[in-house]
Structure 1
Amino acid sequence: MTAFLVLIFCIVLLIVAVTVFKIHPIPALLISGLILGLATGNSVQMVTESLLNGFGNTLKWIGLVILFGTLLGEILAETGGADVIAESIIKFFGINRLPLGMAVIGFLVGIPVFMDVAYLTLLPTMVALSRKSGVSVLVLGLSLAMSLTVAHALIPPTPGPLAVAALLEINIGAMVPYNVMVALAAVIGGLIWIKLNTSKLALPNFTKDGDDNLKSKKKELKGYKLLLPFASLLVPLLLMSIGNIFPGNNPLLEFIKNPVWALMIGVCFALPLIGKDNFSTYLNTYFQSAGAKCAIVILITGTGGAFGQVIKDTEIVGALFSEVEMGGLSILGIIIPFLLSFLFTTVTGSITVSLITTASITAPLVTGGILHPELTAAAIGAGSLGVVHVNSSFFWLFKEVHNVSVSKLLRSFSVLSGVVAICGGLFLCLLFWLMY
């Protein structure tokens, strides 16, 4: 029990360091891991070895996956591929169902493209649609932001879900179906809330930067290139899941279901979008940009793995629940990871830090056979949606581009994010009840 209290202290220390003292997650995670290891009786050498092993083991394949996922998002954003996805879905849903259309756009585009980049990329289209349809730009913005957040928290190849899979040592293909179901439930719950509160979400169709700065300078895609953005996005997800549909040791299946190669295949589908003129120059530019954007994410993911390895090596969590059988925690096996993740996001403002920290804590229970791996991963993802408020960078980006007051945003965006998380959690409890 003393060791468990030390773990609680280190988690609180981590939260305070990131939120109150504004220390970057990388040193905060490393120092918390060091203190935890030393306080539980390990030597400096042993703790350092745990940290290094956790860092290396987490990044031995996930680093490339994050890079290729970021590169795919960069190509789609810069070539107009993301715009094609957005415009096609808007045509499909029509003006009268724009909130649903924006939610679907955000869900698909948010998988390969970082939230901030995706939102700013789709902002010109959203503002134009708001003016054309008369639908409040805040309604459309919340629909888009909500689904972008859900995709960011639950759907690979975004870094957070990949880190959860690595820390819990579960197959990404097995995790995807559960996460997708929970994500859809969360988005549906959010759309219902938006529908019920549309009258309270009125906002002038004004964007701070003005229309001139929002006009796209991308070339229009034609012919077969209109299909490539969808293929580059959906094919990797299909390939990563296919190994669970057709299990076996077939070399071809082993190749295509591997996340590294699945993402590389997705990138290959996107390459023709670049065009023949100065192809190598543009591709190298996208590589440089993607590398710069994902480097810090990769490092945070690695240090999160290092912190998790110290927890595993000290065997604190495993010893606490050593007598519990698989499913013995009953529904608490879903609720506890959900609440932990919900708390971390709400307090730290970082979905990625929340996912990594909660997965690190619960990993011994999953690898020890106490918790259901995929349901635990989905619970962590749903909980990480948390409550988005003033400690979130995306909160302030949303405020600035739409010139909306903090109080109005707290009553809308913050409440909506909490509703979305709870809807995902409730669906997961229902799924657990049906399974057990």
Structure 2
Amino acid sequence: MLALITLTVCIALLIVAVTVFKVHPIPALLVFGLILGLATGGTVTTVTESLLNGFGNTLKWIGLIILFGALLGEILSNTGGSDLIADSIIALFGTKYLPLSMSIIGFLIGIPVFMDVAYLTLLPTLHVLSKKSGHSILVLGLSLAISLTVAHALIPPTPGPLAVASAFNISVGKIIPLNIVVAIAAIIGCLVWLKVNKNKLQTTNTIDTNKLQKTENKKLGGYKKILPFAALLTPLILMSVGAIIKEENAIIAFIKNPIWALLIGILFALPLLDKKDFSSKLNSYFNTAGAKTAIVILITGTGGAFGQVIKDTGIVSSLFSNTDSISSMGIIVPFLLSMLFTTVTGSITVSLITTASIVAPLISNGTLDPTFTTAAICAGSLGIIHVNSSFFWLFKEIHNVSVPKLLKSFSLLTAIVSLSGGVMVFLAYTFLRD
């Protein structure tokens, strides 16, 4: 009981440190990992070793995946690949169904491109489409922002799902099919809510053009029109197919490995670069991707370090020694924990890492299924995003929306998409589980 109280206090203090006192997650996770280990009987040496093992085991392959995913995003964003994807989907669905179009665009582009960058990059297109179609800029903005958030929370190579897969020691390819289904359910929940409440979301406010991402609108022609889609979808297909096929051979082992699958995707994107100064441009995008992902990679690693301390203490395993009672609750507990952490911390990645750290012992002892639990945690991490999120304030400043109105729209909508995704996970868990 004392160990459980210690764990609860450490997690509570960790949340307070990150949210109230604005302590950076990296030192916060390390310090409270050390405190937890020492308070439960460990020595400085053993706890430090536990932290280092957790950090190293988490980043031994996730670090490269995050970096390569960001590199792919940089290439697509700067060569016109992202614009081509957006324009193609809009042409396919037309202006009548623009919220649906923006959701698909956000979902696809949100996989390789960071949320803030993707949203700012697409803002000029959003502004023009709103004027031409008569759709509320807030409706289109919300459909885009929510779909970017869903992709960030559910689809690798974004850092959160990768960290959960690592904590549960499960192949990334195995989580992609179910997570895609859950993501679709979450986005459908978003679109239904927007359809019902579109009259309440009319606004005369215009976008602050000073916030628009200044990008060169490049036009791709010929075979290059296919390359952005190939670069984006090929890694997901390869990882999924490799995980589904049970036969193990060198080819399957190669294509299902997320590092090589992502590199294959990048190979499809390379012809988008101009032949002139090809190497210097590629190196520039690589450096930019490295700079953008460095902190994310370190946070992911320290989250793994904190989780390793929790595992080594054995607190969770002893707490849930009665596996029958936990099994009966299924994936509800991981979902609620993840939703709580996002609501409190404002960070989807921190929520995913923290929840996975707590739940991991229940995966290793066979109490919970890793695939369904991963999907539940990812859906729950959509949580309730509000004033403690940087993206909340970015959205507010760009669209000149009041905080109360944004709480009633954006924050409420994140809760709805989280619950929509959670319902899909629960249904899949109920009817498809072996």
Q: Which residue number corresponds to residue 20 of structure 2?
A: 20
Q: Which residue number corresponds to residue 259 of structure 2?
A: 260
1:331 deviates by 5.1
Is 1:389 the counterpart of 2:386? The answer is yes
1:167 deviates by 0.8
Query: Aligned partners of 1:260, 1:245: CA distance in 2, in Å?
Result: 18
Alignment deviations for residues 62-85 of structure 1 (CA, whole Å, 9 cap, x no partner): 100000001001111111111110
Kept after mapping to 1: 8 A contact 2:50/2:309:
yes
Equivalent residue letter for 2:422: G
Q: Which residue number corresponds to residue 413 of structure 1?
A: 410
Equivalent residue letter for 1:219: K
Q: Which residue number corresponds to residue 242 of structure 1?
A: 241
Alignment deviations for residues 367-392 of structure 1 (CA, whole Å, 9 cap, x no partner): 11110101110111001001111110
Aligned length: 433
Kept after mapping to 2: 8 A contact 1:331/1:432:
no
Query: Aligned partners of 2:332, 2:82: CA distance in 1, in Å?
Result: 36
Query: Aligned partners of 1:22, 1:216: CA distance in 2, in Å?
Result: 33
2:397 paired residue among 397, 400, 405: 400
Kept after mapping to 1: 8 A contact 2:167/2:360:
yes
Query: Aligned partners of 2:214, 2:62: CA distance in 1, in Å?
Result: 35
Kept after mapping to 2: 8 A contact 1:84/1:229:
yes
Query: Aligned partners of 2:102, 2:51: CA distance in 1, in Å?
Result: 42
Q: Which residue number corresponds to residue 33 of structure 1?
A: 33
Query: Aligned partners of 2:363, 2:213: CA distance in 1, in Å?
Result: 46
1:210 deviates by 5.6
Equivalent residue letter for 1:367: S
Equivalent residue letter for 1:93: F
Equivalent residue letter for 1:425: G
Is 1:172 the counterpart of 2:169? The answer is no
Query: Aligned partners of 2:310, 2:239: CA distance in 1, in Å?
Result: 29
Equivalent residue letter for 1:278: D
Q: Which residue number corresponds to residue 192 of structure 1?
A: 192
1:173 deviates by 0.9
Query: Aligned partners of 1:218, 1:105: CA distance in 2, in Å?
Result: 17
Where does structure 2 lack aligned partners over 5 or more consecutive residues? none
TM-score of the aligned structures, taking structure 1 as reference length: 0.97
Query: Aligned partners of 1:269, 1:148: CA distance in 2, in Å?
Result: 23
Equivalent residue letter for 1:241: S
1:215 deviates by 6.2
Query: Aligned partners of 2:253, 2:430: CA distance in 1, in Å?
Result: 33
Gap change, CA 1:331 and 1:342, over 3 Å in 2: farther
1:209 deviates by 1.7
Q: Which residue number corresponds to residue 303 of structure 2?
A: 304
Query: Aligned partners of 1:21, 1:331: CA distance in 2, in Å?
Result: 38
Kept after mapping to 2: 8 A contact 1:131/1:205:
no
Kept after mapping to 2: 8 A contact 1:243/1:253:
yes
Q: Which residue number corresponds to residue 78 of structure 2?
A: 78
Query: Aligned partners of 2:244, 2:404: CA distance in 1, in Å?
Result: 48
Kept after mapping to 2: 8 A contact 1:344/1:384:
yes
Worse overlay, 239-248 or 147-156: 239-248
Question: Aligned to 1:112, what secondary structure does the other structure show?
Answer: coil
Q: What pairs with 1:302-341 in structure 2 (closer than 5 Å)?
A: 302-325=301-324, 329-330=326-327, 332-341=329-338
Q: What pairs with 1:115-264 in structure 2 (closer than 5 Å)?
A: 115-204=115-204, 206-209=206-209, 216-264=215-263
Query: Aligned partners of 1:182, 1:389: CA distance in 2, in Å?
Result: 22
Equivalent residue letter for 2:259: V
Equivalent residue letter for 1:174: K
1:335 deviates by 1.1
Is 1:371 the counterpart of 2:368? The answer is yes
> Percent sequence identity over matched residues?
66
Q: What pairs with 1:57-136 in structure 2 (closer than 5 Å)?
A: 57-136=57-136
Kept after mapping to 2: 8 A contact 1:179/1:378:
yes
1:245 deviates by 2.5
1:407 deviates by 1.4
Kept after mapping to 1: 8 A contact 2:80/2:219:
yes
1:329 deviates by 2.2
After the TM superposition, which segments of 4 or more aligned residues of structure 1 sit over 6 Å from their partners?
Answer: none
Kept after mapping to 2: 8 A contact 1:130/1:205:
no
Q: Which residue number corresponds to residue 284 of structure 1?
A: 283
Equivalent residue letter for 2:34: L
Q: Which residue number corresponds to residue 359 of structure 2?
A: 362
1:227 deviates by 0.7
Query: Aligned partners of 2:34, 2:213: CA distance in 1, in Å?
Result: 47
